[in-house]
Structure 1
Amino acid sequence: MIISIYALNNGMIRVVQQSLLGSILSNMLLVLGCAFFTGGIVHCNKDQVFNKAAAVVNSGLLLMAVMGLMFPAVLHFTHSELHYGRSELALSRFSSCIMLVAYAGYLFFQLKSQHELYKPIGEEEVANENDSDDEEASEITQWEAISWLAVLTVWVSILSGYLVDAIQGASESMNMPVAFISVILLPIVGNAAEHASAIMFAMKDKLDITLGVAIGSSTQISMFVVIIWA
């Protein structure tokens, strides 16, 4: 998202569109695939499980996002709109409003209404056992985590500016299309922390968190970020 802001400031709208699309594909295919692969290798003697309800909700939202983005595109390329230009814009705005409302409902569903559905499988048993040896001790406090997050966000924003400025030059020097850099390389670099955390949680047999990082990030981009920047 930070890279998209800098790219928009530089007038690189096509790069923003391609990088957002690449982020969705990267999270759904590369990150999730690597997480399942590494988790399966580490826990080869057991079946890893995850919460079905959370996965179904995210899958439904992703399907809704595909339909919401596809309908205006189909109307544009088929030239079947009743009022040229206006019908496509009206449908796009209507779809955007519906998707934003659906995303707000998803947040309410996850945080307030049915938050117990998002508890990782086995969490209740661990809580009832009161086995302190199995609990992971916190390495840093809450405020330390917030401070580090703020510092790293500022640092990433600074580096993102240099990264966006170097896209065109890198494309010419390496004889590489800008589309390839935007769809493949930028999402991998920009979402490196998410990639690493998803794989790490899968190796710790916490697939619910892995799915939340990978699929949840794709849901957020498709239902919220794309709508805002579009």
Structure 2
Amino acid sequence: MVNRIFFIMILIGLPLSVIGSLMHWSPVIMFIVYCLTIVALAGYMGRATESLAIVAGPRVGGLLNATFGNAVELIISIFALKEGLVTVVLASLTGSVLGNLLLVAGLSFFIGGLKYKRQIFNVFDARHNSGLLIFSVILAFVIPEVFSMEMNDADTFTLSIGISVILILLYLAALFFKLVSHRGIYQHEADKVEEHEEPEWGKWRALIVLLAATVAVGYVSENLVHTFDIVAEKFGWSEIFIGIIIVAIVGNAAEHASAILMAYKNKMNIAVEIAVGSTLQVAMFVAPILVIASLFFDTRMSLVFTMPELISMITAVFLTIAITNDGETNWFEGGTLLAAYIIMGIGFYLL
């Protein structure tokens, strides 16, 4: 049923996106059309990556899902960066961290916990990810904020470039560690409960769908960015709220759907890998890539967040670590994460 709805949304949304942008329809109406179209396209990206995940295994599958899920947001952010909307881009990165750790993980734990009283996942992966979360979100994002108080903009940007290169290198090393050098070393009972399942699509069909959906998302995202200013003025939203809530939710729609579905099927290894792995990818790869990409645009972007953004991300990281470090979860812990997300959402709306 949901897949049919997404198909109809794409069938209607893509032509309307093209016609509306050419005929300059109301930006508010087009903002809604673009968002719904991206969500539907993200749904197809989620189905394709889920098929690949069944073939490749939970870790690779979770990585694929996170990568193509973040591809949507990366595309939106590059176009926003091109327009000089640095505040929106930084806010969308904050929104991704908060959305993945609190909203995606929270909904996954909550919905999965309603069906199963106790759900387990690989505790070794959870502890490994905890260290990377502290390094990438807290250390790498706090250092530019602190040093920027004693630096000019040029030096702060240079520091951000250096940190970005280190983050990318460490992220690649982390992938090599998990997928090559230490693959299968840290086994857990949760790894043995994954049921054999036939993929919905074959490998090549899934890859073609991913490629086509990514291209379509790129086109729609470029048009979406052009509506931000007018929509913000119309509804009284700040650029920070648009980035943290709207762009983050739309950009991560594929991950939201996939992680929740995996949790409902009690495939918690994949669900956690999507939620936490996506956060790490945003902090250690997407954010650094955007900093480096800003070298080619008129407006440079440093890794300097506002204090509310920084404190929110730090709080989300520590709360997630406290809940996931034991390798098991339930609906109440999911509800706790969701409550934290709602509190922060209210705060950013009122800014």
TM-score, length-scaled by structure 2:
0.58
Select which of 146, 149, 160 maps to 1:92.
160
Amino acid corresponding to residue 113 of structure 1 in structure 2 = S
SS of equivalent residue, structure 2 residue 119: coil
Amino acid corresponding to residue 217 of structure 1 in structure 2 = S
Match of 1:11 in 2: 84
Match of 1:74 in 2: 146
Match of 1:209 in 2: 270
Match of 2:221 in 1: 160
Is contact 2:96–2:244 with CA below 8 Å preserved after alignment?
A: yes
**Residues 48-87 of structure 1: per-residue CA shift (max 9 Å, x gap):** 100011111222111111202211211122x2x6xx5676
Is contact 2:122–2:190 with CA below 8 Å preserved after alignment?
A: no
TM-score, length-scaled by structure 1:
0.86
Select which of 98, 122, 126 maps to 1:51.
122
Taking the aligned partners of 1:175 and 1:160, their CA distance within structure 2 comes to 22
Post-superposition offset of 1:112: 0.6
Post-superposition offset of 1:123: 4.2
Post-superposition offset of 1:125: 6.6
**Residues 3-62 of structure 1: per-residue CA shift (max 9 Å, x gap):** 011112222122111111111111011110010000000113xx2100011111222111
Match of 2:134 in 1: 63
1:35 correspondence with 2:108: yes
Match of 1:129 in 2: none
Taking the aligned partners of 1:203 and 1:119, their CA distance within structure 2 comes to 22
SS of equivalent residue, structure 1 residue 171: helix
SS of equivalent residue, structure 1 residue 194: helix
**Residues 60-118 of structure 1: per-residue CA shift (max 9 Å, x gap):** 111111202211211122x2x6xx56764554344333322211110100111112157
Unaligned runs of at least 5 residues, structure 2: 1-73, 292-351
Q: Which moved more, 1:112-121 or 1:170-179?
A: 112-121
Is contact 1:61–1:223 with CA below 8 Å preserved after alignment?
A: no
Is contact 1:120–1:208 with CA below 8 Å preserved after alignment?
A: no
Match of 2:284 in 1: 223
Q: Larger Rg: 1 or 2?
A: 1
Percent of residue pairs bearing the same amino acid type: 39
Aligned Cα root-mean-square deviation (Å): 2.0
Amino acid corresponding to residue 59 of structure 1 in structure 2 = S
Unaligned runs of at least 5 residues, structure 1: 127-133
